[in-house]
Amino acid sequence: MPLVDLNHYLLLANDLEKTKRFYCDVLDLTEMPRPDFPFPGAWLGRGDKIWVHMAPREVPNAALYYKGTPTHAARDNTGVVDHIAFAAADPDEFRARFTRLGCDWWARALPESNLFQIFVRDPDGLTLELNFFGLTTMPDWAENYAEMPRAN
């Protein structure tokens, strides 16, 4: 019984509307129909695929709804998750959008693997990684992994 696809991840937002606007405006996701769960939230995605389920962090009965987030989990930033990654296309378009919208972002290149990455932080501090696979020419506006010190 192999896994076949990633369905979605649940994001607990400090400000649901602000975080929803970020994912729609910055990542060009669309709000999708969502079941009538007993807590507010949004499903975001593209086409018929849900990618992100978000809900407000602080709601009555949160411990009942959010079984994956114990009360002792980190709340000021991303908790135990460092980043979430998406495959993407057209790094220059994302660079222009992130710059225009004033996002906190940075880019890195791994030319020997034909991989270019852009990272952007959402309103709650969660880092999102956009992977651009198969690039044979790297944009010149990124750090190069090969020039970073290596961890032993």
Number of domains in the chain: 2
Residue 40 confidence (pLDDT): 93
Selection from 136, 149, 96 nearest residue 118 by Cα: 96
Assess whether 84 and 98 both reside in one domain: yes
Same domain, 63 and 91: no
| pLDDT value of residue 34 | 92
Q: Which of 40, 73, 106 corresponds to the end of one domain?
A: 73
Q: Which pLDDT belongs to residue 99?
A: 96
**What DSSP element (H or E) covers 64?**
helix 62-65
Same domain, 65 and 80: no
Per residue of the chain (152 residues), give pLDDT as tens: 676 777 888 888 889 999 999 999 999 999 999 988 989 999 999 998 999 999 988 888 887 888 777 666 666 666 667 789 899 999 999 999 999 999 999 999 989 889 999 999 999 888 899 999 999 999 999 998 888 888 77
pLDDT for position 64: 80
The pLDDT value recorded for residue 76 is 66
The set of long-range contacts for 2-8, using a CB threshold of 8 Å and a minimum separation of 24, is: 7/50, 8/43, 8/45, 8/50, 8/51, 8/52, 8/53
Q: Are residues 27 and 98 in the same domain?
A: no
Same domain assignment for residues 105 and 65? no
User: Do 89 and 142 have their domain in common?
Assistant: yes
Give the whole-angstrom CA distance, residue 31 versus residue 9: 15
Dihedral sign of CA atoms 67, 68, 74, 77 in order: negative
Give me the pLDDT at residue 43, please. 95
Domain stops at, among 30, 53, 73: 73
Clarify whether residues 3 and 68 are in a common domain.
yes
Q: Please indicate, yes or no, whether residues 67 and 50 belong to a single structural domain of this protein.
A: yes
57, 93: one domain:
no
Q: Which helix (H) or strand (E) holds 55?
A: strand 49-56
* Of 98, 138, 147, residue with least CA distance to 117: 138
Q: Which domain holds residue 7?
A: 1-73
Closest CA to 15 of 104, 99, 122, 119: 122
pLDDT digits (tens, 9 = 90+) for 122-147: 998 888 999 999 999 999 999 988 88
